[in-house]
Amino acid sequence: MKTNTFKARLKDRQQIGLWVSLGNAASAEILARSGADWLLIDMEHSPNEVSTVLEQLRAVAEDCEVIVRPPEASQTVTKRLLDIGTKSIMFPMIDTAEQARQAVSWTRYPPKGVRGISGVVRATGYGRDAASYLASEEEHICVIVQAETPTALANLEEIAEVEGVDAIFIGPGDLAASMGFTGQGASVPEVAEAIRDALNRISAKSCGAGVLGYGATAATKFFDQGADFVAAGADTWLLAQQSSSLIEQLQAALERQKTS
């Protein structure tokens, strides 16, 4: 099984990532060739299904590592994602160590977990590499859990100590909403401080610390605060920002021509 470079580098160097939300292979392929260290294919807030995730995994191929976020913490969806070759999974809305422990168990074969076995899926090379995959999958699978509520932040140390949890990712949007600041994200001082404190506490436990921060300024700030990996943009966000900026610049140029 090919080394999961995202997992291998978690505590060795900081990694820049991009979110893939449009649900198509072309978008994933374009972002994969940007030079990003990793992509996250989102199923929670996008039109993705397991079949479209598979198309995107194939499109990205060797260009960069991929994390997949399922629509919810689900044993069945986790099994299907792993079977199609997903190596890193980000479980949303994990509030307790017990929930984290359960998520890890879905990624492990018995006796360490409850993952069902199929030797003829994409992850095993359709049977050609089944023996080596079954023997080493735990080494290469990366488990990331999302902390998105005050309850999760209160339990950070316990979650970080769960065997098999490789990283904790802070979700600023849901965290802000759960703190009473819906739609304001990390722009609120209380939320920004909660994220800074969380990154420090996660790092102190030798667990990978990640966060979402769109734009170079926000991403750099989070890296400076100790984040090991940051999602610095998304296909939807980049397309919206750049297309609007281009049109606004051209409209302004045309207005200047009229008055000159």
* Dist CA 58 CA 167 (whole Å): 25
The two three-digit tokens of residue 228, written as one number: 């090991």
In this prediction, residue 24 carries a pLDDT of 93
Q: Which of 157, 167, 171, 169 is nearest to 8 (CA)?
A: 167
Low pLDDT (below 70) residues in the chain: none
Angle, nearest 10°, between helix axes 25-32 and 235-259? 80
Can you say whether the dihedral through the CA atoms of 36, 216, 222, 100 is positive or negative?
A: negative
Q: Which of 94, 82, 107, 102 is nearest to 202 (CA)?
A: 94
- Alpha-carbon distance values, 30 to 47, 58, 85, 141, 159 (Å): 18, 13, 20, 25, 35
Q: Where are the domains of the chain?
A: 5-235
In this prediction, residue 186 carries a pLDDT of 94
Distance linking the first and last C-alpha atoms of the chain: 64
Q: What are phi and psi of 90, to 5 degrees?
A: -110, 115
Q: What residues have CB less than 8 Å from 53, skipping those under 6 apart?
A: 41, 43, 68, 81, 84, 86
**Whose structure tokens read 């065997």?**
163
pLDDT tens string 136-184: 999 999 999 999 999 999 999 999 999 999 999 999 999 999 999 999 9
In this prediction, residue 63 carries a pLDDT of 82
pLDDT tens string 82-93: 999 999 999 999
CATH 3.40.228.10 corresponds to the domain 5-235: no
The whole-model pTM stands at 0.95
pLDDT tens string 48-63: 999 999 999 999 987 8
In this prediction, residue 120 carries a pLDDT of 96
In this prediction, residue 178 carries a pLDDT of 97
Indicate which residue of 9, 45, 58, 122 is catalytic: 45
Mark whether 45 is an active-site residue.
yes
**156 C-beta neighbours (distance < 10 Å), count:** 23
